[in-house]
A = this chain, B = another copy of it.
Amino acid sequence: MASPEIEALTSALARLPGFGPRSARRAVLHLLKRRESSLGPLRAALTAVEERLATCGTCGNVDTTDPCAICSDPRRDPRSLCVVEDVSDLWALERGRLFPGRFHVLGGRLSALEGVRPEDLAINSLIARVAGGQVDEVVLAMNATLEGQTTAHYLAERLEKHRVRLTQLAHGLPVGGELDYLDEGTLAQALRARRPVA
């Protein structure tokens, strides 16, 4: 059909999450018709990222510097450490600038099913950071899934003997959540963690 170059671009795009062969073709056509405004900028952005891409040796964030912008920001409290499963979780928290401390990215979650063991995650480096003595509080910000919570429990055990305050994200009603539409697990958590009206 199209030239090998165009075919190669289509299949490279089709491998992105959220894209299939059909939507990749639509995107390629969009790019081909907008060489200056779309194709060029995307190519330049990819090239720039590829050239400068780095994984932060301290926290595991992906950035274009090592240490990353968060780890090297003096305004961020090094005594407060938020542990997340994945870079996407770090980004989600950073989007709202919700956490004033620093991060630690595990690179996944413990999973018997998928064969992910503690040594597959950045747990030893977390212990080392905490053992360094600079950290006062560790927030275990795992996902509210079975595997996320298993990971949090495992980390809590490993960190017990270090003198840090261990906390985890609150569970309860999401903002805008209607009781009628929420699952029993969420309702049970919200009820169990009920607070006095201020």
Contacts and interface: CB of A to CB of B under 8 A. Distances in A.
Nearest to A93: B1
B94 A45 contact: no
Contacts of A87: 29, 32-33
Interface stretch (A46-54, A123-131, A152-160, A187-195): A46-54
Contact of A12 (B23, B25, B42): B42
Interface in A1-60: 1-3, 5-6, 8-9, 12-13, 15-19, 23, 25-27, 29-33, 35, 38-50, 52-53
A63 interface: yes
A173 interface: no
A164 interface: no
Contact of A50 (B16, B40, B88): B40
A167 interface: no
A75 interface: no
Given A16-B30, A91-B25, A5 B43 contact: no
A69 B3 CA distance: 7
Most buried by B among A43, A69, A94: A43
A65 interface: yes
Interface of A: 1-3, 5-6, 8-9, 12-13, 15-19, 23, 25-27, 29-33, 35, 38-50, 52-53, 62-65, 69, 87-88, 91, 94-95
